[in-house]
Structure 1
Amino acid sequence: MDSLSRFSLEGKRALITGSSRGLGLAIATALAGAGAKIVLNGRDAAALGNATADLIANHADTTALAFDVTNRDSVNEAIAYCEDELGPIDILVNNAGMQFRSPLESFPPEKFDQLMTTNVTSVFNVSQAVASHMISRGSGKIINICSLMSGVARPSIAPYATSKAAVANLTRGMAVDWAPHGLNINGIAPGYFRTELNEALVKDEKFNAWIETRTPMGRWGEVEELGGTAIFLASDAAKFVNGHILYVDGAFSATV
């Protein structure tokens, strides 16, 4: 028996939101390496174009699809176009998100609303639009990018932690509602990874030392290290995995 064939994504199409850079692009690259056709999404046209060109240069079947995940009309139009013109979406990775740091007592209300819309409402918007097609086909994989902060909190990011806790439970709720229709919905909860968004934290000597001391593996994660987890959850190898949040954090959440 060829066990590795169960991890193949040949013939599958994957839409990854917020995938013009960082974790989203790393996940897209990994899925492409496993054989998936890739649909990249983002709002920064230049970054999206560069990411698409890079994947194509590496022989990945890649299309760029610019739309605003927080706007339901934009989402519905984009998903309808993808399904009708590009082909069925077999795998959805909800990665688009944002961060904003401020003490909770002075956290700007407009930033709280923006953060919730970007991190939570977008997951509902895109998942509902894609799932309607998956349900009619009786199959589909949805992977929601949660966070280490889905289960804990740190100073100055309480709203972010709240949003990611919501994404984790929305993931479980999606599995409960949509598993009977043949869908698998799971979450990936990354710990601290080296990304553009975390560049200031990486350069902060005090914070960097804390990460290296606090994480049992003694370092930050590298974005490529999320790829195997995404491939697993998107593949037939995870056929009976549903409603699960898989932490990829170097054992950060396992220690006190």
Structure 2
Amino acid sequence: MRNSTIRISLMPELIHRLQEDIEGMLEYDVNCISIYPVLSIDPEEKIWDLDKLQELTDSINEVSMYAIENTRTNIQTLEYVNEMGFGCGAGVTSVYVNAKGSVYGCFYTAQEEKDYDLLANFLERKVFPNKHITTGVKANDPKCNTCDKEYCLMCYANNMETQGDMFCSAAWCKEAMDFYQDTLPLCDLSVLNSKVATMEDGATDILNAVNDELYEISGYIQAIMSGDNKFRPTMRHVTERDIESRVAWMNTLNDLDSIKDSLKMLMLNMYSVCKKNKRVINNE
């Protein structure tokens, strides 16, 4: 079952069973367990109160820690969340096909066969380029335009069905995003742990991954300092022989030291610029 994903749709009254049930699922070595707290299709209906959301946050963080320490399975929540300003990924990062061969941007519109979201039908070899209503949608809800959250779970289909408007805020959306952000760090760590744990060559692959990240960070720092906005990082891979001779490990430590020195120089440069700007503002 390594390539399988288990999706859990969770109601508040079942939180007390979550950890025990997931620990049982982890024994099957699945790739991912996605925990999705059920949210109402009605933007005005709250299913989760703050106490229950906090309890769920604590439970998922405990489950993520357990998965990291004992398995190679990654834990995810609210898989359709996007960064604020990017909207729903329906028809952009994903499409859905029903049994009739009709292609829709959203799983809900595919299930319900909503004509307004029909993209194509591959059995009939037809394309409907102007049907996908969510492309390029702009926010027209004052609450959404002034939202201070980093992430958004806005759903065009739910809004259309209940409010007759693609873009409208929900009574529970900010609380749901607080929950998502509070569980994101450990969920992200579980994804990284899953990637590392499935590497075939062990230390060599792990060190390559570390080196790739270090080279990219170092390159972007240098690009910032030189004013180059077209920088593209190049990666340097190590071999098993490098691991044995410790050369790669020393190069990695050296790269970290270089990044530290570059950040120190960048900090001093930024301080100098800020100090200069302050003098200009104060007419000194």
Tell me if TM exceeds 0.5: no
Question: Normalised by the size of structure 1, how large is the TM-score?
Answer: 0.32
Question: Normalised by the size of structure 2, how large is the TM-score?
Answer: 0.30
The one of the two structures with greater contact order (alpha-carbon pairs below 8 A, sep at least 6) is 1
Larger radius of gyration: 2
